[in-house]
Amino acid sequence: MTAEAPRARKVYVEAFGCQMNVLDGELALSRLASKGWERTEDAEAAELILFNTCSVRDQSEHRVWSRLGALRERKRTDPSLLIGVMGCMAQREAESILRRMPHVDIVCGTRRFPVMDALVERARAEGQVLAVETDGYVDVRRDVRIRPQRHRAFVSVMRGCDHKCSYCIVPRTRGPQIDRSLEDVAEEVRRLADDGVREVTLLGQNINTYGRTLDAGPDGRRPTLATLIRAVDRVPGIERIRFLTSNPMDLREDLLEAMGELPRACGYLHFPAQSGSDAVLRRMRRGYTRDRYLELCARARELCPGIELATDLIVGFPGETEEEYLATRTLVEQVGFKQIYVFKYSPRPGTAASDLADDVPEAEKKRRNNDLLDLQDEIALRRNSAFAGRRIEVLVDGPSEKDASRLAGLEDGHRTVIFEGPAELSGRFVQVDVERATAPALYGRLVAGSER
């Protein structure tokens, strides 16, 4: 009679903020899975709850405090439950989390999540654990099988950031830039491709500076993001390559050339302008002007015909006048972005901008935020409508979140495409004839027999 396998312990992970946080959660899960933990989507069934947090905006932190407070009573009635906070908020708040929320067992910073399995065992044996050191290399080796989608994957290529944008907390919470070797990244991509991944997104806080901390090769040059993308393009099985996020200050022409030359490099560039006003850009310490940003947009479209551009924008930055806000609005009109992400400024303690008066009223921040979103809806509808009557290739993700009877996926330029088809097409490429468009998505008809 064979002994029964030990029961898998359940862990629930909830990510707040950027794609890097989502990936860090996957990497922590990879280590936990090696010690018998299994992910669950039901927090009530979990024996370990991990919140992977963000500090870029005040609202994200408020959500985490609320979620932690809601667990206080459950921890009182079930002391065996383990609660952990990881990521940027854990790095920034550190001891204050343990003081305000004494039922939290683990506070794990942005460079200690790869040893999450050891932190969990320490918490069980010794009680509260604080691990927020930022020194040294982050070992991001992973079990490539641990990821939410079988056909897509994030790949970390660097950690930290050396820039000093006046509003940004990332250099403080994630530390200085450290790059992974080109060979290490390419090897992970190969293992992902062998496990069925067809699209990878390379991630870095400021990915345009990839290679800055690496040694020069035999040719005397350090690798760049363009070098890395060319290496990933040679991995069999990978059919789409994306990357995030690019600072316009560091956008190099060799990257745009690689995007234009390589068919697997997606025609989508997300590089945050943050503002269209030179005066605000100076206060933000962004290192470029409005004219320079527009030059980069024009050059990207010249070298990569059909490329789609996306951006981040901050409204209500300290001292932002109506004239300065309107400069951002006209930038959005002039560029014609595929997508914009708009954020109302909130001071981040420890940043240079936190010393400035937060003098734009909240109601005005909200008005500017909504005005930009309304403007972008008009632009997106106009640009999307140009796809009507075209046949496009889509990588299918699965049932649409808003209508489970339909499928949803992404085309090369990162547009969502909705159409009817069988669920077994998930993870495959198909051809879709676009019939109509809205601002958020394209709608079309599956071309029979086109799947591959």
Q: Which residues have C-beta within 8 Å of that of residue 344, sequence separation ≥ 6?
A: 314, 315, 316, 362, 365, 366, 369
Whether residues 116 and 155 fall in one domain:
no
Q: What single-letter DSSP state applies at residue 34?
A: T
- The dihedrals phi and psi of 87, each to the nearest 5 degrees, come to 100, -160
Give the pLDDT band (50/70/90) at residue 436.
very high
Whether residues 124 and 179 fall in one domain:
no
Q: Which residues have C-beta within 8 Å of that of residue 93, sequence separation ≥ 6?
A: 61, 107
Decide which of 131, 160, 175 is a domain's last residue: 131
Whether residues 50 and 100 fall in one domain:
yes
Whether residues 155 and 122 fall in one domain:
no
Which CATH number covers residue 252?
3.30.750.210
Q: Are 283 and 353 in contact (CB under 8 A)?
A: yes
Q: Are 290 and 276 in contact (CB under 8 A)?
A: yes
User: Each residue of 126-171: pLDDT tens digit?
Assistant: 999 999 886 665 666 778 888 889 999 999 999 889 999 999 988 8
Written as one string, the DSSP assignment of 112-156 is: -GGGHHHHHHHHHHHS-EEE----S-------TT-SS-SSEEEEE
303 occurs within a structural domain: no
153 occurs within a structural domain: yes
Residue 282, classed as helix, strand or coil, is: helix
33 occurs within a structural domain: yes
User: Each residue of 270-299: pLDDT tens digit?
Assistant: 999 999 999 999 999 999 999 999 999 999
99 closest CA partner among 138, 130, 60: 130
113 occurs within a structural domain: yes
Whether residues 189 and 247 fall in one domain:
yes
Whether residues 113 and 176 fall in one domain:
no
| Residue 340 backbone zone (phi > 0: left; psi -120 to 50: alpha; other: beta) | beta
Whether residues 154 and 253 fall in one domain:
yes
Query: Whole-angstrom Cα distance, residue 187 to residue 128?
Result: 36
Q: What single-letter DSSP state applies at residue 274?
A: B
**Amino acid 5: pLDDT:** 52
Which CATH number covers residue 66?
3.40.50.12160
315 occurs within a structural domain: no
Integer CA distances (angstroms), 94 to 107, 110, 117, 378, 388, in order: 7, 11, 19, 43, 51
34 occurs within a structural domain: yes
- Mean residue pLDDT across the chain: 93
Decide which of 241, 266, 291 is a domain's last residue: 266
User: Each residue of 322-355: pLDDT tens digit?
Assistant: 999 999 999 999 999 999 999 999 999 889 999 9
Whether residues 115 and 172 fall in one domain:
no
**Amino acid 131: pLDDT:** 92
Whether residues 105 and 157 fall in one domain:
no
Whether residues 173 and 225 fall in one domain:
yes
Report whether pLDDT(4) > 60.
no
414 closest CA partner among 244, 252, 262, 237: 244
Token pair in block for residue 280: 């605000």
Whether residues 14 and 95 fall in one domain:
yes
Which CATH number covers residue 417?
2.40.50
pLDDT, average across residues 40-67: 90
414 closest CA partner among 389, 445, 383, 448: 383
List the helix and strand counts (H, then E) for the chain.
Answer: 14, 19
318 occurs within a structural domain: no
User: Each residue of 173-221: pLDDT tens digit?
Assistant: 888 899 999 999 999 999 999 999 999 999 998 999 999 999 998 888 9
Report whether pLDDT(245) > 70.
yes
Question: Pairing mode, if any, of strands 82-87 and 152-156?
Answer: unpaired
| Residue matched to tokens 């890395």 | 228
| Residue matched to tokens 């049932």 | 399
Q: Are 157 and 210 in contact (CB under 8 A)?
A: yes
> What is the residue range of 194's domain?
149-266
Decide which of 77, 101, 131 is a domain's last residue: 131
| Residue matched to tokens 């932002």 | 320
347 occurs within a structural domain: no
Distance of CA 179 to the CA centre of its chain: 17
Whether residues 125 and 13 fall in one domain:
yes
Give the pLDDT band (50/70/90) at residue 1.
very low
Report whether pLDDT(27) > 90.
no
Number of domains in the chain: 3
Q: H or E stretch including 331?
A: helix 322-335
* Residues, the chain: 452
**Amino acid 143: pLDDT:** 83
